[in-house]
């Protein structure tokens, strides 16, 4: 089987032969960092053009179609424009926090990449509490938003940031509960264990209806956690001019923008890993000829295919549904998603104890 792990093993062995262990480790870290930043840049370009094209087709428009073939270089041109724009810091802002906030947003998004399995045996850090790590780090994002809103010294920014705080704190609960259902089913917090536990079928198929309910709740909570429409209370163009990034321009704004898309990618990658089997190909129980046929598709293609499918679903949500008011948003969470999630996790626990899942 063709795999990334052979390449990484080769590099690893060569580094440890040539350099002392400390230097080899440092070099590996640098390589991983460069790869992560490269992935970020690629993701930013691809997801922005994807968002614009998907939104255009859903609204019976054409979308960007002038720069490059079929407009595919539009986001590259936009990035260039943002890079050369002046990174302005308005008078009256808290300079340190104002300039720090985009970096914190970026760093929080970057840290989330560590435990994600991109392909078979291709993972930055397979720590034994991977799922807990993801839920913990993803709540750091709200600190960046609060920081930006507070330091901007602008009432719109502050309102947007406060709303975003209320929203992320509440939706983390249902996201956590729906993640927990898979942890209960697979019996492990480690990402690689969760993926291997799906080698005879993905959890969304194996876990009966409760897994599907958990998946739906996870999708809704993930959309809310990444501050995307229909839950874009933090930005709220129509009432808060731009929410927490009203005062930002140039590259600092671009960092927030990029962090949002990285968060979308990471959240969808986590959803794909937990519910749709991560890099695991589509396997049906003990149907061997089918499983072998599916194994011929590389695991990285499975992972990115599932992740981009979930990203597409989130874009579909965004360009279909009307925005919620802040009170409707919190009603949805506290009156509907959370009680259903709690009952659901009870059901899943019963299923897991009695081994009713396949």
Kind plus residue range of the DSSP H or E element containing 258: helix 250-275
Q: How far is the CB of 62 from another protein (least distance, A)?
A: 4
Nearer to another protein (CB atom), residue 57 or residue 358: 57
320 binding another protein? (CB under 8 A): yes
Phi, psi dihedrals of residue 297, rounded to the nearest 5° = -80, 125
Residues contacting residue 293 through CB under 8 Å, at least 6 positions apart: none
Residue 329 and residue 231 in contact, taking contact as beta carbons nearer than 8 Å: yes
Closest distance to another protein from the beta carbon of 329 (Å): 14
Contacts of 277 (CB under 8 A, 6+ apart): 195, 198, 202, 203, 283, 302, 306
* Binding region for another protein (CB under 8 A) out of 20-28, 263-271, 285-293, 317-325: 317-325
**Three-state secondary structure along 300-312?**
HHHHHHHHHHHHH
Residue 218: CB minimum distance to another protein, A: 16
**Beta pairing partners, 117:** 123
Q: Which stretch binds another protein (CB under 8 A): 44-52, 270-278, 312-320, 350-358?
A: 312-320
204 is a site residue for another protein (CB under 8 A) = no
**Options 23, 309, 321, 358; binder of another protein; rule CB under 8 A:** 321
Give residue for tokens 């270089």: 73
Nearer to another protein, 58 or 72 (CB): 58
Instruction: Decide whether 66 or 95 has the Cβ nearer to another protein.
Output: 66
Q: Are 154 and 37 in contact (CB under 8 A)?
A: no
Stretch that binds another protein, among 110-118, 182-190, 244-252, 318-326 (CB under 8 A): 318-326
60: number of Cβ within 10 Å: 6
Helix (H) or strand (E) holding 274: helix 250-275
The closest alpha carbon to 232, from 87, 104, 121, 329, belongs to: 329
Minimum distance of another protein from residue 110's CB (angstroms): 32
How many residues bind to another protein according to rule CB under 8 A? 13
Candidate residues 23, 316, 334, 358; the one interacting with another protein per rule CB under 8 A: 316
Nearer to another protein, 109 or 315 (CB): 315
Cβ–Cβ under 8 Å, residues 315 and 53: no
Of 146 and 337, the one with the shorter C-beta distance to another protein is: 337
Smallest gap, in angstroms, from Cβ of residue 342 to another protein? 14
Q: CB count, 10 Å around CB of 250?
A: 15
Write each residue from 31 to 60 as x if it is in contact with another protein (CB under 8 A), else as -, in one continuous string.
-----------------------x--xxxx
Six-digit token pair at 210?
């409760």
Q: Does 61 bind another protein (CB under 8 A)?
A: yes
Q: What is the DSSP letter of 244?
A: G
* Residues near another protein (CB under 8 A): 54, 57-62, 316-317, 319-321, 336
């Amino acid at each position: 089987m063709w795999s990334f792990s052979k390449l990484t093993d080769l590099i690893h062995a060569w580094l440890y032969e040539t350099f002392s262990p400390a230097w080899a480790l440092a070099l590996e870290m640098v390589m991983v960092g460069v790869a992560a930043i490269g992935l970020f840049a690629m993701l930013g370009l691809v997801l922005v053009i994807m968002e614009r094209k998907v939104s255009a087709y859903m609204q019976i428009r054409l979308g960007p179609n002038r720069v490059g073939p079929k407009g595919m270089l539009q986001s590259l041109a936009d990035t260039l424009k943002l890079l050369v724009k002046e990174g302005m810091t308005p008078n009256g802002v808290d300079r340190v926090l104002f300039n720090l906030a985009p970096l914190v947003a970026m760093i929080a998004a970057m840290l989330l990449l560590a435990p994600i399995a991109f392909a078979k045996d291709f993972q930055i850090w397979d720590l034994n509490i991977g799922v807990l790590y993801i839920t913990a780090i993803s709540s750091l994002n709200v600190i960046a938003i609060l920081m930006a809103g507070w330091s901007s010294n602008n009432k719109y920014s502050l309102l947007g940031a406060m709303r975003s705080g209320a929203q992320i704190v509440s939706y983390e609960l249902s996201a956590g509960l729906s993640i927990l259902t898979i942890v209960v089913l697979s019996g492990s917090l480690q990402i690689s264990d969760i993926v291997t536990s799906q080698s005879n079928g993905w959890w969304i198929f194996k876990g009966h209806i409760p897994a599907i309910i958990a998946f739906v709740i996870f999708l809704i909570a993930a959309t809310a956690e990444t501050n995307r429409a229909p839950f874009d209370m933090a930005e709220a163009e129509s009432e808060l001019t731009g929410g927490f990034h009203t005062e930002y321009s140039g590259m600092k704004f671009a960092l927030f923008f990029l962090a949002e898309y990285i968060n979308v990618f990471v959240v969808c990658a986590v959803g794909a890993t937990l519910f749709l089997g991560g890099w695991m190909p589509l396997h049906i129980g003990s149907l061997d000829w089918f499983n072998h046929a599916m194994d011929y598709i590389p695991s990285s293609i499975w992972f990115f295919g599932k992740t981009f499918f979930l990203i597409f679903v989130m874009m579909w949500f965004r360009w279909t549904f009307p925005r919620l008011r802040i009170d409707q948003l919190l009603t949805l969470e506290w009156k509907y998603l959370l009680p259903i999630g709690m009952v659901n996790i009870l059901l899943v626990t019963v299923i897991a104890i009695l081994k009713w899942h396949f």
